[in-house]
Amino acid sequence: MSCFNRGNIKMQHTWVFWIATPPANPSDLSDRSPEEKMTFNTLYGLNEAVKELIRTAEMGMGEGHYFFKQGAVPVLHHHSNERGGRWTFEFGDRRLTDLSSFIHTMMTIDRVSGLREDDEILGLAIHLDLSRVSLWTRTANCNSTLQVVGAWFNVAMNLERGQTIAFNSNMDIGTIGRNPDRTATKM
C-alpha cells in the first residue's frame, strides 16, 4: 500500500491526467490528439493518476503523459499555451524511477497557489519512456517571472549541483530541426 493513500488530502488545484497519442503525420506537431484520462483534486487522486502513468508507460501507450491544470490542454497550439514554453529536465541515462519524488514535485507545483507565478504554470509533461520531464508555462516573454518559475522548478525537482534545466518557447519547439541556431535558456 502506498504511503500516499492516507485519505483525500485536498489539492490547491484540479488537475487532469492526459495521454497524447502519436500524430498520424510525425512532422505535424499540431496533429496530436491528447486524451483526458482522469481528473483529480486530492492526493489520493494524484496517486491513482501516477499508477495509471506507470501502467501506460510500461505498456508503451501514447506519446507522452501530462498532468495539467483543469482548463489547460497539452497541445502546442492550444489558446491556453500557444504563447508559452517549458522548462525541461533530461534524465540522461537514468529514467524517472523514483515516483515518490515525482509526486513530491507535483505537490510542490500544486502549492505554488497564491504566488504571482501560480497562473504562469500550466502543468507537467513526462516523456513516454520517463526520460524527460517538462514544466509548461503560459508565457515565454516575461523573463523575470520565467526565471523565478525555473529556479523554483529546479528546487522542486531536487536537482543536484551540475544538473541543469533548459527553457524553450513553444514557438522554438515548433521550429526545432529547422533552425539549429536557436538555443535554449539554461539554468
**Interval 90-111: pLDDT, tens:** 887 666 666 777 788 888 888 8
Q: What percent of the chain has pLDDT over 90?
A: 18
Q: 64 near 127, Cβ under 8 Å?
A: yes
Q: What is the mean pLDDT of the chain?
A: 78
The CATH number of the domain holding residue 139 is: 3.30.760.10
Query: What H or E segment, with its residue span, contains residue 145?
Result: helix 143-156
| 92 falls within a domain | yes
| 4 falls within a domain | no
Q: How many helices (H) and strands (E) does the chain have?
A: 4, 8
Return the pLDDT at 102: 78
**Residue 150: which domain range?**
10-186
| 1 falls within a domain | no
Q: 20 near 64, Cβ under 8 Å?
A: yes
What is the grid cell recorded at 125? 509533461
Q: CA-CA-CA-CA torsion for 117, 15, 109, 160, nearest 10 degrees?
A: -130
| 3 falls within a domain | no
Q: Would the pLDDT of 68 be above 90?
A: yes
| 100 falls within a domain | yes
Q: Would the pLDDT of 69 be above 90?
A: yes
Of 22-26, 82-86, 131-135, the range with the lowest mean pLDDT is: 22-26
Return the pLDDT at 182: 44
| 133 falls within a domain | yes
Domain count, the chain: 1
Residue 170's alpha-carbon distances to 10, 61, 88, 144, 186, in angstroms, are 31, 24, 12, 18, 16
What is the grid cell recorded at 80? 491556453
Q: How confident is the model at residue 18 (pLDDT cuts 50, 70, 90)?
A: very high
| 35 falls within a domain | yes
Of 22-26, 51-55, 137-141, the range with the lowest mean pLDDT is: 22-26
Q: Would the pLDDT of 40 be above 90?
A: yes
Counting Cα atoms < 13 Å in the Cβ hemisphere of 52 gives 20
Q: Would the pLDDT of 181 be above 50?
A: no
| 2 falls within a domain | no
Q: Which of 7-11, 70-74, 92-96 has the largest mean confidence? A: 70-74
Distance CA(27)–CA(111), nearest Å, equals 36
Residue 56: other Cβ atoms inside 10 A: 16
